Chain A
Amino acid sequence: MKTLLKSCVLAISLLLGAISAQAQKSGGTLVFLVQPEPPSLAAYVSTSGPIGLVAPKVYEGLFDYDNDGKIVHVLAESHAVSADGKTVTFNLRKGVTWHDGKPFTSADVQFAIMNVLSKVHPRGPNTFSEVESIDTPDAHTAVLNLKKPAPYMLRALSAYESPMVPKHLLEGTDIKSAKLGNKPVGTGPFKFVEWKKGQYIRLDKNENYWRKGLPYLDKIVGRFIPDASTRTAAMENGEVLYGAYGAIPNIDAVRLKKRDDISVTTDGYSMINPMALIEFNTKKGAFVDAAVRKAISLAINREFLIKNIWFGYGKPATSALTSNFSATGLHAAMPNFPAKGDTAAANAVLDAAGFKRNSDGVRMTAVLDLIPYGEDWRRAGEYLKQAMGDIGIKLDLRYEDVPTWLRRIYHKYDFAMNVNYFYQLPDPVLGVHRHYGTNMIRKGTHFVNSSRYSNAALDKLLAAGMIEPDATKRSAIYKDVQKILAEDMPVVNLFELQFLTVYNTKLKGAYGSALGAYGSFAEAWIDD
């Protein structure tokens, strides 16, 4: 009898266990990789990748986007666009508070867009360029009055792209150097707790989060592990559960994929469209002449880079725009982007432009700066050094830490040639215009037109492309844009990156947003 009772209890508890395993579990700590350590957490000042991994858990946007790119309302409960497209009304969610207890109101939206994002954000001035004013008829309504319709704007209201920041903590301060930059206070599911430099950032569950019952996790810890093999080892032994944006090198991801407890996905990057590229200084140094830049684009074997350094994850660039814009008819393949490289053609261009080789076969020398985001970029630099040597351009490599590098490229313009990657985002207006527009030469702002390229004809086309509602006309405009850029090449696009997210299968629910690792993780939970 006793044994029967025991086995009954056991059976019931097993059954209960099985049921609860199906449902989301609260609690637990998610340790994930943040690579490299972010320069700050001021998501409203810099779009630097590692900031995006941390800040959207603390700040929220008006919208989020699901995996099909559809709008999910976050801080805006609903929105309406007027018939002429020039008035956009956001009805804000009620009962939302900042982590310091102050209520979130339409004044915050007004301040965030008008005084912060359209002033100091790298892409914000572009996103919100048509916004003339914002009315706040009451605390929970924000009305954006636009000069011209700006349909692309509604694609850029995520926490990553346009975080809503607290007016009461930023007003009257120098926004670029405000204390909030290192101690973010948002409305998001997680509260900032501490940042141990060189080690980790810790975020704790926001008990007063407006979505009841969320987040599931008690704690999120973003760890900085500078060494790639150590990161892989940490993933393998379960010390970290999640690593995105190349935190785990592709070669290891390919190997880890075979394990039962680790999965690899390329999902979560559809809003990003990352493009590897070279920025040139078009005002000073060896690459002022467009012929040299064109020759460089011709000489690069893009397939070699993808195959040997990124282990097959990537696609050769064929124009200034990513081929993912083919869906909207904006992408057009251009000459001067040979997938396998054409050294002979590159040499011919340089010869024709009158760049003679000296007795050592060298036409010119320059320093190649490299984005300090990991080993792969270093290898790419080593490849480029060799490939450029073949066409008589002798390069020396320079590899600095993130702040020094950012200062060099975007504050001092003290470079000739810089390997980097940019996000083209869901629309060229958001991600591509900032490379090339004269109005995007903004000293001290990161990831904009550091080439200082300025072309009145192109500016005109970009301005037209921004507001053109007709798809056919728009695609013609961008075809002309790509034609000009394929000749002038202020930036040489290398290849479309495919980022990998490597995660432990214990972690569930972290991939519901189109923003992937740049999402909030409110619905992420750990199944132990």
Chain B
Amino acid sequence: MNEFWSRYARNRSAVMGLGILVLVIFMAAIASLIFPDDPFRLAGIPLSVPGANGFFLGSDTLGRDVASGIAHGAKTSLLIGLVATFAAVFIGIIFGAFSGYYGGLVDDILMRITEIFQTIPSFVFAILLVAIMKPSIESIVIAITVVSWPGVARLVRGEFLSLKNREFVQACHTIGMSDMRIIVREILPNCLSPIIVVGSLMVATAILIESGLAFLGLGDPNIMSWGFQIGAGRTMLRSAWWVCTFPGIAILVTVLAINLVGEGLNDALNPRLREGN
């Protein structure tokens, strides 16, 4: 663990990213304490400039507190990012593991299915799915999952292809281990590092997709999110810049932080780099 941390800490920006990310998580965790009211509440005078009328970051066209929206929106963004990523990684591992391990016809079938999903531009596909299912937090998570898993499947398949002929796997075969056990207990743990790295970056992509959907009006209308704030404020960008600027900064900073963390994890976990050092 110590060794892992020292390798991670070697990347300064990754440490900074982690710091920001912890801050964002902290903000999401205490959102209900600092802003106990519903972020949709009409808290005061509409279109107050930042600092005026008790609004630290200003208020939007209906008098909703932008700061409160950002704090509560952090919860939504992180939640959607994490849930969608876990679901996508789970599906991706199943597809990738089976096709990489068994090869042949199984590989052909599973990879053709994966390719079908890969050939459709992911954001357009996500819009389509949400529009069909009606915008809600569930449909958004499903849409992000559906467009994100093929990348993981490809990666896992590649790892499995390279690992399945190694000596330790062949040793497992000779002592009569079941396929399932070899996949889950032997090969999978050995390809966790790249999966973690890809997964962490995927959280950032998921947050971006969610914001994009909400911006286009396909967010859950009953849940505060950063994308919703930007979408609701964009018509008055020129007369009330603060309504979408602050949520925009929040998205930028969070996505950047997650990317930096992902890079740090890559440095810390990537065995080739480890040997190089």
Contact with B along A250-287 (1 / 0, CB 8 A): 01100100000000000000000000000000000000
Contact with A along B76-117 (1 / 0, CB 8 A): 000000000000000000000000000000000000000000
Contact with A along B217-228 (1 / 0, CB 8 A): 100011000000
Q: Which residues of B contact A474 (CB under 8 A)?
A: none
**B165 interface residue (CB < 8 Å to A):** no
**B239 interface residue (CB < 8 Å to A):** yes
Evaluate contact between A249 and B221: CB separation under 8 angstroms: no
Provide a sorted-by-A list of 11 A–B residue pairs whose CB atoms are within 8 angstroms. A228-B235, A229-B237, A252-B235, A255-B239, A304-B42, A309-B62, A378-B221, A379-B232, A385-B222, A387-B42, A399-B135
Rounded to whole angstroms, the CA-CA distance of A399 and B107 in the bound complex is: 42
Evaluate contact between B221 and A398: CB separation under 8 angstroms: yes
Evaluate contact between B235 and A386: CB separation under 8 angstroms: no
With A381-B221, A396-B222, A400-B134 as contacts: A255 and B238 at CB distance below 8 Å: yes
**A401 interface residue (CB < 8 Å to B):** yes
**A177 interface residue (CB < 8 Å to B):** no
Q: Is the interface of B mostly helix, strand, loop or mixed?
A: loop
**A464 interface residue (CB < 8 Å to B):** no
The residue in chain A whose Cβ has the minimal distance to the Cβ of B134 is A400
Evaluate contact between A308 and B235: CB separation under 8 angstroms: no
The residue in chain A whose Cβ has the minimal distance to the Cβ of B61 is A308
**A100 interface residue (CB < 8 Å to B):** no
Rounded to whole angstroms, the CA-CA distance of A365 and B72 in the bound complex is: 23
**Extra inter-chain contacts (17) besides given A381-B221, A396-B222, A400-B134, CB under 8 Å:** A228-B235, A229-B237, A252-B235, A308-B62, A375-B217, A375-B235, A385-B40, A386-B38, A386-B41, A386-B42, A389-B38, A397-B221, A398-B134, A398-B221, A399-B135, A399-B221, A401-B131
Q: Which residues of A contact B234 (CB under 8 A)?
A: 229
Q: Which residues of A contact B131 (CB under 8 A)?
A: 401
**B120 interface residue (CB < 8 Å to A):** no
**A200 interface residue (CB < 8 Å to B):** no
Contact with B along A410-454 (1 / 0, CB 8 A): 000000000000000000000000000000000000000000000
Q: Which residues of A contact B46 (CB under 8 A)?
A: 308
With A249-B235, A385-B40 as contacts: A378 and B62 at CB distance below 8 Å: no
Evaluate contact between B63 and A308: CB separation under 8 angstroms: yes
- Residue of B38, B222, B236, B238 near A397 (CB, 8 A) is B222
**A313 interface residue (CB < 8 Å to B):** no
Q: Which residues of A contact B237 (CB under 8 A)?
A: 229
Shortest CB–CB separation between residue B231 and chain A, in angstroms? 8
**A383 interface residue (CB < 8 Å to B):** yes
B contact residues, total (Cβ < 8 Å): 22
**A382 interface residue (CB < 8 Å to B):** yes
Which A positions have Cβ atoms within 8 angstroms of B?
A: 228-229, 249, 251-252, 255, 304, 308-309, 375, 378-379, 381-383, 385-387, 389, 396-401
List of 8 A-B pairs having minimum Cβ-Cβ separation, nearest first? A397-B221, A308-B46, A228-B235, A386-B42, A249-B235, A396-B222, A251-B236, A375-B235
Shortest CB–CB separation between residue A393 and chain B, in angstroms? 14
Q: Which residues of B contact A379 (CB under 8 A)?
A: 61-62, 232
Q: Which residues of B contact A308 (CB under 8 A)?
A: 46-47, 61-63
Rounded to whole angstroms, the CA-CA distance of A398 and B131 in the bound complex is: 12
Q: Which residues of B contact A386 (CB under 8 A)?
A: 38, 40-42, 62
Most A C-beta atoms less than 10 A away, residue of B42, B47, B237, B239: B42
Q: Which residues of B contact A228 (CB under 8 A)?
A: 235
Q: Which residues of B contact A255 (CB under 8 A)?
A: 238-239
Q: Which residues of B contact A383 (CB under 8 A)?
A: 42, 62
List the count of A-B residue pairs having beta carbons below 8 Å apart: 55
Q: Which residues of B contact A309 (CB under 8 A)?
A: 61-62
Within 8 A of A (CB), among B188-228: 217, 221-222
Rounded to whole angstroms, the CA-CA distance of A229 and B61 in the bound complex is: 16
Q: Which residues of B contact A381 (CB under 8 A)?
A: 221
Shortest CB–CB separation between residue A139 and chain B, in angstroms? 50
The residue in chain A whose Cβ has the minimal distance to the Cβ of B238 is A255
Evaluate contact between B135 and A382: CB separation under 8 angstroms: no
Most A C-beta atoms less than 10 A away, residue of B40, B62, B131, B237: B62
Evaluate contact between B235 and A378: CB separation under 8 angstroms: no
Shortest CB–CB separation between residue A420 and chain B, in angstroms? 17
Shortest CB–CB separation between residue A386 and chain B, in angstroms? 5
The residue in chain A whose Cβ has the minimal distance to the Cβ of B231 is A375
Within 8 A of A (CB), among B237-252: 237-239
Q: Which residues of A contact B38 (CB under 8 A)?
A: 386, 389
Shortest CB–CB separation between residue A422 and chain B, in angstroms? 23
Rounded to whole angstroms, the CA-CA distance of A255 and B90 in the bound complex is: 51
The residue in chain B whose Cβ has the minimal distance to the Cβ of A232 is B235
Rounded to whole angstroms, the CA-CA distance of A140 and B237 in the bound complex is: 57
Q: Which residues of A contact B221 (CB under 8 A)?
A: 378, 381-382, 396-399
Evaluate contact between A382 and B40: CB separation under 8 angstroms: yes
Rounded to whole angstroms, the CA-CA distance of A382 and B135 in the bound complex is: 15
Rounded to whole angstroms, the CA-CA distance of A400 and B221 in the bound complex is: 11
Rounded to whole angstroms, the CA-CA distance of A252 and B234 in the bound complex is: 11
The residue in chain B whose Cβ has the minimal distance to the Cβ of A251 is B236
Rounded to whole angstroms, the CA-CA distance of A225 and B222 in the bound complex is: 25
Rounded to whole angstroms, the CA-CA distance of A252 and B131 in the bound complex is: 28
With A229-B237, A399-B217 as contacts: A382 and B134 at CB distance below 8 Å: no
Evaluate contact between B235 and A229: CB separation under 8 angstroms: yes
Shortest CB–CB separation between residue A74 and chain B, in angstroms? 38
Within 8 A of A (CB), among B21-48: 38, 40-42, 46-47
Shortest CB–CB separation between residue A391 and chain B, in angstroms? 14
Q: Which residues of A contact B217 (CB under 8 A)?
A: 375, 378, 399
The residue in chain B whose Cβ has the minimal distance to the Cβ of A376 is B235
Q: Which residues of B contact A399 (CB under 8 A)?
A: 135, 217, 221
Q: Which residues of A contact B236 (CB under 8 A)?
A: 251
Shortest CB–CB separation between residue B135 and chain A, in angstroms? 7
Rounded to whole angstroms, the CA-CA distance of A398 and B40 in the bound complex is: 16
Evaluate contact between B239 and A251: CB separation under 8 angstroms: yes
Rounded to whole angstroms, the CA-CA distance of A401 and B134 in the bound complex is: 10
Rounded to whole angstroms, the CA-CA distance of A69 and B222 in the bound complex is: 44
Q: Which residues of A contact B232 (CB under 8 A)?
A: 375, 378-379, 382
Shortest CB–CB separation between residue B234 and chain A, in angstroms? 6
Rounded to whole angstroms, the CA-CA distance of A375 and B237 in the bound complex is: 14
Within 8 A of A (CB), among B249-271: none
Shortest CB–CB separation between residue B45 and chain A, in angstroms? 10
The residue in chain A whose Cβ has the minimal distance to the Cβ of B222 is A396
The residue in chain B whose Cβ has the minimal distance to the Cβ of A386 is B42
Rounded to whole angstroms, the CA-CA distance of A388 and B232 in the bound complex is: 20
With A397-B222, A398-B221 as contacts: A382 and B62 at CB distance below 8 Å: yes
The residue in chain A whose Cβ has the minimal distance to the Cβ of B41 is A386
Within 8 A of A (CB), among B112-155: 131, 134-135
Most B C-beta atoms less than 10 A away, residue of A382, A383, A387, A396: A382
Q: Which residues of A contact B61 (CB under 8 A)?
A: 308-309, 379
Rounded to whole angstroms, the CA-CA distance of A386 and B131 in the bound complex is: 25
Q: Which residues of B contact A385 (CB under 8 A)?
A: 40, 222
Q: Which residues of A contact B135 (CB under 8 A)?
A: 399
Rounded to whole angstroms, the CA-CA distance of A498 and B63 in the bound complex is: 23
Shortest CB–CB separation between residue A190 and chain B, in angstroms? 32
Contact with A along B37-67 (1 / 0, CB 8 A): 0101110001100000000000001110000
